[in-house]
Copies of this chain bind each other. A is one copy, B any other.
């Protein structure tokens, strides 16, 4: 559920690419648990939801809205309006088909170059989209500008220890204990991985860069969550047993003062 931009040098600068509109990738993505089940299929969702303010009466912006699951939930939770932005026509087509609510608007756009009115949203939300974005500073500047005073910015990204390695494959010692081969952590640049389709490009950046870019744009940090499934989730999904060794997701809460 994410707008994205290819980070490779062969692409035209400033021309966002969008793997979610490549048919093979889109079909594969559509079969993921979180695509089929929506928020109920995203195990980190309860933790992210807990970082949101009560949405009653608030105007919400969703950066990388995907199929619109969050937009529809936000309306059920009392938001007066939701603007969902995504780069993918495929995602937006399904979002529009599944949403029957005049207070939810979907717009195609590159979240690094959005034009929106200042002080026009009370909450900005983004789920697993910003690790595709090359220019995080532009997004933080946008969020700071469009949020009202006291407004919240709550987002998730793939955790930097997850995105850093050049060969992200679990290693096992003789006793079968898993270890994640962390390297290149401080090398902030594109990572090309095979996820659903070969050659998916994500932007690796450090935790400190996520945090300091927010601070440098006048935001206040309110919460940091390094998320992995807990014992209850693992009991239902034994294949997630290694995840707590290196959290797959980083959740960040911030506020415009």
Residues of A within 8 A of B (CB): 161, 165-167, 171, 173, 177-187, 206-208, 211-212, 215, 220-226, 228, 244-247
Is B182 within 8 A of A245, CB to CB?
Answer: yes
Is A185 within 8 A of B215, CB to CB?
Answer: no
- How many Å lie between the Cα of A133 and that of B212 in the bound state? 26
Supposing A186-B228, A220-B220, A224-B212 touch, asked if A180 and B178 sit within 8 A by C-beta, the answer is no
Chain B min CB distance to A221 (Å)? 5
- How many Å lie between the Cα of A179 and that of B182 in the bound state? 5
Kindly name the residue among A184, A212, A224 whose own CB sees the greatest number of chain B CB atoms within 10 A. Answer: A224
Supposing A165-B179, A166-B177 touch, asked if A207 and B184 sit within 8 A by C-beta, the answer is no
- How many Å lie between the Cα of A93 and that of B244 in the bound state? 43
Is B184 within 8 A of A245, CB to CB?
Answer: yes
Is A167 within 8 A of B173, CB to CB?
Answer: yes
Nearest residue, chain B, Cβ from A254: B221
**Chain B residue contacts of A224, Cβ below 8 A:** 207-208, 211-212
Is A186 within 8 A of B221, CB to CB?
Answer: no
Is A247 within 8 A of B215, CB to CB?
Answer: no
**Chain B residue contacts of A226, Cβ below 8 A:** 185-186, 206-208
Nearest residue, chain B, Cβ from A178: B183
Is A185 within 8 A of B247, CB to CB?
Answer: yes
Chain B min CB distance to A118 (Å)? 24
Chain B min CB distance to A96 (Å)? 36
Nearest residue, chain B, Cβ from A228: B186
Nearest residue, chain B, Cβ from A251: B208
Is B225 within 8 A of A185, CB to CB?
Answer: no
Q: Which one, B180, B208, B220, contacts A183 given CB within 8 A?
A: B180
Is A185 within 8 A of B161, CB to CB?
Answer: yes
**Chain B residue contacts of A212, Cβ below 8 A:** 223-224
- How many Å lie between the Cα of A161 and that of B183 in the bound state? 11
**Chain B residue contacts of A215, Cβ below 8 A:** 221-223
Supposing A211-B221, A212-B224 touch, asked if A179 and B186 sit within 8 A by C-beta, the answer is no
Chain B min CB distance to A178 (Å)? 6
Is B222 within 8 A of A186, CB to CB?
Answer: no
Is A183 within 8 A of B223, CB to CB?
Answer: no
**Chain B residue contacts of A167, Cβ below 8 A:** 173, 179
